[in-house]
């Protein structure tokens, strides 16, 4: 508790009568493990996209999936695109769904 006094001439006096009660330390938030980290890749052509996938698969084998996923999202989105939601890319360039894009919001 505290008492404050404000005088007419601008003189102020403040007194603290007791300490504030101790505040409990906030509990740490539980660590959230993301089950899936998308790796988004694109290329100017189907061949360029395939080359990007091969290079990425070889280069990022020992890197954390989350870090790689964050880095890939900031790259330019080119005409031909693919996404990996697991440990690797399963991609068939002859699949009729290759050039179709779907966005799903849970």
Tokens 């007194």 belong to residue: 15
Q: Is residue 13 part of a domain?
A: no
> Band of the pLDDT at 95, cuts 50, 70, 90?
low
**Number of domains the chain is built from:** 1
Boundaries of domain holding 102: 23-106
**Residue 2 covered by a domain:** no
Does 14 fall in a domain?
Answer: no
- Are 80 and 45 contacting, i.e. CB atoms less than 8 angstroms apart? yes
Residue 66 CA neighbour count, 13 Å, CB half: 4
- Give me the CATH number covering residue 102: 3.30.70.3290
Tell me if 69 is assigned to some domain. yes
For 64-94, how does the pLDDT look when each residue is reduced to its tens digit (9 = 90+)?
777 888 888 888 888 888 887 765 555 555 6
**pTM, entire model:** 0.47
């Amino acid at each position: 508790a505290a008492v404050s006094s404000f005088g007419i001439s601008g003189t102020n006096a403040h007194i603290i009568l007791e300490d504030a009660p101790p505040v409990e330390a906030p509990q740490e938030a539980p660590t959230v493990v993301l089950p899936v980290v998308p790796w988004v890749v694109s290329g100017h052509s189907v061949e360029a996209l395939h080359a990007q996938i091969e290079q990425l698969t070889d280069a990022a084998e020992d890197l954390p999936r989350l870090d790689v996923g964050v880095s890939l999202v900031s790259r330019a989105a080119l005409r031909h695109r693919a996404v990996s939601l697991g440990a690797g890319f399963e991609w068939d360039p002859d699949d009729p769904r290759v050039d179709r894009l779907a966005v799903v919001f849970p």
